[in-house]
A and B are shown apart, each in its own frame.
Chain A
Amino acid sequence: MLLNSFSRIISVVVLSAIILSGCATSVGNRASFENTKFVIGETDKQTVASVLGLPSEVSRSNTLLLWGYPESPKLSGLIIAVPTAPDVVSTYAIDMTDESGLAQSQMVYGFDEAGILRQVSDQRSNKE
């Protein structure tokens, strides 16, 4: 009887997982890189900020102000609930933070002194 009830709970949970894909995150970039239409020599940094959001990392090269963006927000932890007995659900938290606390930038935009886009560096495929 108890085993039957336990199996039913597991079935409902698995079925829910199939039906529902869960929620999407909203802390990431405001647009995917593929959906941006930035033009080198024309687009300014205000436009980049309004399309993608503020950069995750900022640095400077000799001539350019560099804005870095990760492709997606960093996964920094998991909380898993596991039925461990018919009437017991145990939760397990997994901390995935690292010392840097930053996702490595995968797209880097370079701006000149006037804030105009001069360079786009796609670190995902190492192409410019």
Chain B
Amino acid sequence: MIFRAFVFLLSSIFFAGCASTTLAPETSSGIQKGKVTTAAYTVDKKIHYEEMVYKVLYNETRTQQAVFEDFWDIDKAHTDLLTLALNNLDLDASPGLTALSEETRAELEKNIKLSLEEAKQGEPEPFKLENTTRSTLMGAGYDYLVLLRTSNIMVTTTSMIDSATIWLPSSLIVLDLEENRQAYNEALIIQSLATYEESVRELEDNDLALIRKATQKQLAEGLEKRMGDILAIETSL
């Protein structure tokens, strides 16, 4: 494939954590002593493009979606980053969803989708695992689940400038498996900037190399900076 894009990422990319609360001390203590499983799940594996187009007498908003599920295993990539961030805090964390059967995993994904719909409607119920998922994870020795739920990838731009903002609207959820309760659930906004030459869709070149690079870098840096605070673990950072 001809890589005709002239695209580079701006250095001023950043990670904005809306999360202002931290884990309760007893949960923080438990998570440092216990075994943690990690999971990241993007509900809609689509890029939602939105562009403000200047039309002299008016501006219009144009949108198009791009399905990327055949080109990038985003869930594995984000789960690995989440696991690394927890391991860097000296937590005993590992991806555990491989322990789930296909059917149980599908049930969990359905549950995550439902939780996102509830969150969009304004007053979400605390996230709860279905019994089979919870018992399977506990059977594998896990005490906590740290879940990164992302709705999709959003790319916003305007016709007047050749740069775009890439968003990963996400929430970080911590579940206490033994007590069967949600210990934490806060929004995280992972945001980065990119420039392009002619079309914002140049970001898709090389199996989404630039979108991957931007989002992975921001997620890794953001988790490294914020995870200690979120889990109430003191770090040297």
The reply to whether chain A is a binding partner of chain B is yes
Interface residues of A (CB under 8 A from B): 13, 16-17, 20-30, 45-47, 49-50, 53-58, 67, 70, 73-81, 101-103
Q: How far is the CA of A85 from the CA of B23 in the complex (A)?
A: 55
Specify which of B49, B58, B69, B204 is in contact with A58 (CB 8 Å cutoff). B69
Contact B58 A80 (CB under 8 A): yes
Interface contacts (Cβ under 8 Å), in number, total 108
Interface residues of B (CB under 8 A from A): 1-2, 47, 49-51, 53-71, 157, 159-160, 198-201, 204-205
Q: How far is the CA of A26 from the CA of B159 in the complex (A)?
A: 7
Contact A73 B47 (CB under 8 A): no
Most interface-central of A45, A54, A57 (chain B CB within 10 A): A54
For A80, what are the chain B residues with a Cβ–Cβ distance below 8 Å? 57-58
Nearest CB of A to B56, in Å: 5
For B69, what are the chain A residues with a Cβ–Cβ distance below 8 Å? 58
Specify which of B58, B59, B64 is in contact with A28 (CB 8 Å cutoff). B64
Q: A30-B201, A58-B67 are in contact. Are A75 and B60 (CB under 8 A)?
A: yes
Q: How far is the CA of A50 from the CA of B206 in the complex (A)?
A: 9
Specify the chain B residue showing the minimal Cβ separation from A30.
B201
Contact A22 B47 (CB under 8 A): no
Contact A20 B204 (CB under 8 A): no
For A56, what are the chain B residues with a Cβ–Cβ distance below 8 Å? 64-67
Specify the chain A residue showing the minimal Cβ separation from B2.
A50
Contact B56 A53 (CB under 8 A): no
Contact B50 A27 (CB under 8 A): yes
Q: How far is the CA of A25 from the CA of B57 in the complex (A)?
A: 16
Contact A53 B53 (CB under 8 A): no
17 A-B pairs with CB atoms under 8 Å apart are: A17-B57, A21-B56, A22-B56, A23-B159, A23-B160, A25-B51, A26-B200, A27-B157, A50-B205, A56-B67, A58-B69, A75-B61, A76-B50, A78-B58, A78-B60, A79-B59, A80-B58
Contact B204 A53 (CB under 8 A): yes
Specify the chain A residue showing the minimal Cβ separation from B48.
A101
Specify which of B47, B50, B65, B68 is in contact with A102 (CB 8 Å cutoff). B65
Q: A73-B62, A81-B58 are in contact. Are A25 and B53 (CB under 8 A)?
A: yes
Nearest CB of B to A71, in Å: 11
For B62, what are the chain A residues with a Cβ–Cβ distance below 8 Å? 25, 27-28, 73-76
Q: How far is the CA of A93 from the CA of B233 in the complex (A)?
A: 46
Contact A78 B61 (CB under 8 A): yes
Q: How far is the CA of A126 from the CA of B87 in the complex (A)?
A: 55
Most interface-central of A27, A46, A49, A78 (chain B CB within 10 A): A27
Specify which of B2, B53, B64, B71 is in contact with A74 (CB 8 Å cutoff). B64
Q: How far is the CA of A75 from the CA of B49 in the complex (A)?
A: 12
For A102, what are the chain B residues with a Cβ–Cβ distance below 8 Å? 65
Q: How far is the CA of A101 from the CA of B44 in the complex (A)?
A: 13
Q: How far is the CA of A76 from the CA of B59 in the complex (A)?
A: 11
